[in-house]
């Protein structure tokens, strides 16, 4: 049987019995004994045995060969040997302990692709164009984005910030005379200088008037006579 068809039959058989965590790996690059390995979990001994029986019966119905089964007596780990493919049916604790995925999981095979490749319906589905859901944001039409000039925007932001930080200048009212108060010390000095100047002027005036008065009072009698003659002659 073709390996692609065999893996499809095995996956269908496991899904029919509700196998959990089904994984499929391509082992062609790791070993020459088989080409595929499948790992699946069963919740109980009864389910693991049922999964193994389903794989055996489905493969035989499809014309494949079943080389052998191991572990049916305990049901904790049942191995189904199909020649080109090995199926490991394990309970969760056993599967977690042995971790076969770390040994054989270099090239995982997608289950959807494994089921589609061997059927005519799968080929038609692969060839058909995929429809995009309009509910996803990635598939919706996005508005045209205009380029932003980063330099101009940065300069504008800098100017706006500087203008906001600069304090506003105080407005001086126009048409008014602003009087500036004179300091008290300067006003006192000016008053003292003015008083000293006035006193000096008075002293100079008084000194000039004193000799004239003395001269007028000390005129001789002869001079007085001459003055009188002159006055009479004029009359």
pLDDT digits (tens, 9 = 90+) for 42-83: 999 999 999 999 999 999 999 999 999 999 898 999 999 999
Torsion sign (Cα): 211, 213, 219, 224: positive
Mean pLDDT is lowest, of 83-92, 97-106, 136-145, 226-235, for: 136-145
Supply the pLDDT for residue 147: 58
Q: Is the pLDDT of residue 132 over 60?
A: no
Q: Is the pLDDT of residue 26 over 60?
A: yes
Say if CB 19 and CB 64 are below 8 A apart.
no
Outline which parts of the chain fall under CATH 3.30.460.10: 3-125
Q: What is the pTM of this model?
A: 0.50
Supply the pLDDT for residue 200: 74
Mean of pLDDT values over 168-189? 61
Mean pLDDT of all residues belonging to the chain: 75
Mean of pLDDT values over 2-19? 94
Q: Is the pLDDT of residue 169 over 90?
A: no
Say if CB 53 and CB 14 are below 8 A apart.
no
According to CATH, the topology of domain 3-125 is Beta Polymerase; domain 2 (3.30.460)
d(CA 221, CA 229): 13
Contacts 24+ apart (CB under 8 A), 25-30: 25/101, 25/104, 25/105, 25/106, 25/107, 25/108, 25/109, 26/107, 26/108, 26/109, 27/104, 27/107, 29/106, 29/107, 30/104, 30/106
Q: Is the pLDDT of residue 133 over 70?
A: no
Hey, which residues does 108 pair with through a beta bridge? 25
Say if CB 12 and CB 115 are below 8 A apart.
yes
| Nearest alpha-carbon partner for 108 in 50, 43, 20, 21 | 21
Q: Is the pLDDT of residue 195 over 90?
A: no
């Amino acid at each position: 049987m073709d390996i692609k068809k065999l893996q499809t039959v095995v996956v269908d058989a496991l899904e029919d019995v509700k196998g959990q965590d089904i994984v499929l790996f391509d082992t062609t690059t790791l070993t020459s004994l088989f080409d595929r390995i499948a790992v699946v979990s069963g919740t109980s001994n009864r389910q693991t045995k049922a999964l193994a029986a389903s794989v055996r019966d489905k493969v035989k119905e499809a014309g494949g060969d079943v080389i052998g089964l191991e572990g049916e007596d305990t049901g904790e780990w049942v191995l189904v040997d199909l020649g080109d493919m090995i199926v490991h049916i394990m309970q969760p604790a056993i599967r977690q302990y042995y971790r076969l995925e770390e040994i054989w999981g270099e090239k995982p095979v997608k289950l959807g692709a494994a089921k589609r490749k061997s059927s005519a319906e799968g080929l038609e589905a692969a060839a058909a164009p995929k429809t995009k859901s309009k509910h996803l944001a990635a598939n919706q039409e996005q508005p045209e984005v205009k380029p932003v000039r980063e330099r101009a925007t940065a300069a504008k932001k800098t100017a706006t910030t500087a203008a906001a930080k600069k304090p506003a200048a105080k407005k001086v009212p126009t048409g008014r005379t602003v009087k500036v108060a004179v300091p008290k010390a300067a006003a006192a000095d000016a008053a003292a200088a003015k008083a000293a100047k006035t006193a000096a002027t008075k002293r100079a005036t008084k000194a000039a008037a004193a000799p004239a008065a003395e001269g007028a009072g000390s005129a001789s009698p002869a001079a007085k006579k001459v003055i009188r003659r002159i006055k009479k002659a004029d009359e």
